Structures are given as C-alpha cells and as structure tokens.
A and B are shown apart, each in its own frame.
Chain A
Amino acid sequence: DADVTQTPRNRITKTGKRIMLECSQTKGHDRMYWYRQDPGLGLRLIYYSFDVKDINKGEISDGYSVSRQAQAKFSLSLESAIPNQTALYFCATSTPQGPYNEQFFGPGTRLTVL
C-alpha cells in the first residue's frame, strides 16, 4: 500500500464550486504539505503544517484553505474554484532532519476547473 495517498486522483468541476482534496499518510510524519504543479512552473507550495495545531501559508495560498484533521490527514479546499486553479496537486510529508528535508509525495490529483 502507498504511504501517501490522495483522493480523488482526477476531478473535473465547474467554476464557483467548492472542492476538497484529501491526503492521508501512514508514514507517521508530522509535517505535511500541499503543492500545485503548472506546466513550465515546477511545484509551488500552497500550505504546510508541522503538526495538527500548526498550519502555515506557502507561496501561493490565495484561494485555498486547509484542514489538518489528524496527524495523518491534511485536506486542501478550494472554496470557489476558478479555471486558473486547474493544475496537478501534490500532497507531501516529511520528518524534520535539519535542512535535510526529504519529502515523500503522493500520486497527485489532477484538477480541472471548467
């Protein structure tokens, strides 16, 4: 079984709809992250969480919110989806080792907003 899972894997929705992407992990890591990937732009950080009570904005948090329901679960919400949020979304986890922050990625969720 995969250590980091994301649901759904693919989603097509319409402008204005509320969407939730879910991430679960069995690695026991405290840190969890949400990234989006756009063609030609690499991955950019949306939100990150160091533990259940610690949630922080990343580089591109506008239009997104998150919830850390438990150590193992980190959800990303688009309150009112817009077409430029069409992207590939990744969840990742890590455990602190100084700056040596290898992150383990989920399989990604491909979101299309029409």
Chain B
Amino acid sequence: AQKITQTQPGMFVQEKEAVTLDCTYDTSDQSYGLFWYKQPSSGEMIFLIYQGSYDEQNATEGRYSLNFQKARKSANLVISASQLGDSAMYFCAMSTASSGANNLFFGTGTRLTVIP
C-alpha cells in the first residue's frame, strides 16, 4: 500500500528565514515519484517540485528544494528565504508505477504561516 505522512499540521517561520516541511512515504515500489503542491487560501493546487526515485540529485526549483533521503523514505521540502506569499497549505504526494492508475497519493498537509 502507498502512504504519505506529514506530521506537522502547522508551521511558523519568520520572513526571510528557511523552513523545512517534513514528508515520509511508504511504498514497496522501486520506481516512484514524489511531488509537493502548494494550496493558498484561494484554494487552487499549485505544483512546486518533483523528485524521481532514481534521481541521484536533490530536486531544486528556485527557492524550493527537496531533501530526498531514500533510505529513510523521506522527501522534505525546504523553502529558503521565506516570503509572506508562502503562507499556504503544502501537500506532499506520491505516484508509483504499480498503482495502476499512476494517480497521486496525498498526505494530510502542513499549514505554513510566514510571520513578518
């Protein structure tokens, strides 16, 4: 079975500081992809970053980086130089080849609040 766990319901960070949002996953597949999405208060789901299970380098996209530790089955999102606009819900998700649908399994999310 596929499962994504996000243990931090809420996080606070000072503007301009870095913050790490935790994500652990469980799958018996060797081939899978890990994603992070941002959901602002307006409700839309915004894709942030992707990491493939065979990628040796950690993914980076601007101020976002994914700290991928395969042995520990963790895929933490690091946001550098936080901005007020980063305040939102953040969801970790996984897609596996064996799931049949290649659909996404989502965690329960972390609400990030950036403090001025």
* A→B interface (CB under 8 Å): 31, 33, 40-45, 48, 50, 56, 58, 88, 90, 92, 94, 96, 98-108, 110
Contact = CB atoms under 8 A, between A and B. Distances in A.
Contacts of B33: 99-102
A35 B99 CA distance: 16
Given A33-B103, A108-B43, 11 more contacts: A42-B106, A42-B107, A48-B101, A96-B102, A98-B31, A99-B52, A100-B52, A101-B33, A101-B95, A103-B47, A107-B44
A103 B37 CA distance: 10
B81 interface: no
What is the predominant secondary structure among interface residues of chain A facing chain B? strand
Contacts of A99: 29, 31-33, 52-53, 95-97, 102
A107 B104 contact: no
A56 B99 CA distance: 13
Interface in B81-108: 91, 93, 95-97, 101-104, 106-108
Interface string B40-71: 00011101001011000000000000000000
Contacts of B104: 43, 45, 92, 101, 103
Contacts of A50: 101
B103 A58 contact: yes
Contacts of A45: 101, 103-104
Contact count band on B: 20 to 34
B108 A101 contact: no
A63 B100 CA distance: 23
Given A42-B109, A43-B91, A102 B47 contact: yes
A43 B44 CA distance: 12
A94 B102 contact: yes
B35 interface: yes
B31 A58 contact: no
Contacts of B109: 42
21 contacts: A42-B4, A42-B106, A44-B106, A50-B101, A58-B101, A90-B45, A92-B45, A92-B104, A98-B97, A98-B102, A99-B33, A99-B97, A100-B33, A101-B95, A101-B102, A101-B103, A101-B104, A102-B33, A104-B47, A106-B44, A108-B43
